[in-house]
């Protein structure tokens, strides 16, 4: 996976498969402590401690369609390569939190990539799931969630091309206004 948004997409897909009805993405850029933190929290089925330990091993997956799961192991590798780490907290029946910290200025930190596209397309693909995204920097904070979008759109589907484009641009413009790192 080349970008942080690729990793986020993988985690979102895992959360949806785990039966989550609410998924929160939080990104916090802290220049003072040189940390670029990404956290994804869901209310899915959760994992046991044993499953959490196995989840970061490349040859473990709960999926029956393949025998290898590389998403979390690659995220862990990318976080550690930039001086960061990966922490997974999970409670069966309650959900999971995946938190990856990267060195903000580290040369090996992957770029964010197209987080606006990931958010919008995932929300379109899973309309029964609530998604939230918050991005905080030293300049400010931006938040968007599907619940508020649905209220504003008054029944117009997010998948409508004009709306999809407008929401994607809204996210990109707001990320630029809070000086989000690439």
Over the stretch 36-81, which tens digit does the pLDDT of each residue have? 999 999 999 999 999 999 888 876 555 545 444 578 999 999 999 9
Residue 94 contacts residue 43 (beta carbons within 8 Å)? yes
Strand, helix or coil for residue 24: strand
On whether residue 182 sits in a domain, the answer given is: no
On whether residue 127 sits in a domain, the answer given is: yes
Strand, helix or coil for residue 117: helix
On whether residue 147 sits in a domain, the answer given is: yes
CA dihedral of residues 133, 136, 140, 141 (deg, nearest 10): 20
pLDDT for 58 equals 75
On whether residue 149 sits in a domain, the answer given is: yes
Residue that the structure tokens 């413009």 belong to: 173
On whether residue 115 sits in a domain, the answer given is: yes
pLDDT for 54 equals 87
Could you list the residue range(s) of the whole structural domain that residue 47 is in?
A: 4-177
pLDDT exceeds cutoff 70 at 97: yes
Mean pLDDT of 92-97: 97
On whether residue 167 sits in a domain, the answer given is: yes
On whether residue 156 sits in a domain, the answer given is: yes
Q: Say what the pTM is.
A: 0.92
Count each helix (H run) and each strand (E run) in the chain, helices first: 6, 6
pLDDT exceeds cutoff 90 at 109: yes
pLDDT for 182 equals 85
**CA torsion sign, 165 to 168 to 171 to 177?**
negative
Domains contained in the chain, number: 1
pLDDT for 59 equals 65
pLDDT for 66 equals 46
Mean pLDDT of 8-24: 96
Average confidence score pLDDT of the chain: 93
Domain of residue 73, CATH code: 3.30.565.10
Q: How confident is the model at residue 124 (pLDDT cuts 50, 70, 90)?
A: very high
pLDDT for 1 equals 77
Mean pLDDT of 133-158: 95
Mean pLDDT of 123-127: 97
pLDDT for 67 equals 46
pLDDT for 26 equals 98
On whether residue 128 sits in a domain, the answer given is: yes
Mean pLDDT of 77-102: 97
């Amino acid at each position: 996976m080349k970008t942080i948004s690729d990793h986020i997409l993988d985690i979102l897909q895992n959360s949806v498969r785990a039966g989550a009805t609410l998924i929160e993405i939080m990104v916090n850029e802290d220049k003072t402590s040189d940390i670029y933190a990404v956290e994804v929290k869901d209310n899915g089925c959760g994992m046991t401690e044993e499953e959490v330990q196995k989840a970061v091993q490349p040859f473990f997956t709960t999926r029956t369609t393949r025998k290898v799961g590389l998403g979390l192991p690659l995220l862990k590798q990318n976080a550690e390569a930039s001086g960061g780490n990966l922490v997974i907290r999970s409670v069966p029946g309650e959900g999971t939190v995946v938190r990856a910290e990267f060195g903000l200025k580290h040369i090996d930190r992957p770029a964010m990539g197209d987080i606006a596209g990931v958010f919008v397309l995932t929300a379109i693909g899973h309309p029964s799931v609530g998604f939230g995204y918050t991005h905080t920097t030293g300049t400010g904070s931006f938040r968007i969630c599907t619940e508020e979008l649905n209220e504003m759109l008054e029944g117009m589907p997010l998948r409508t091309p004009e709306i999809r484009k407008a929401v994607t641009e809204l996210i990109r413009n707001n990320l630029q206004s809070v000086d989000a790192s690439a």
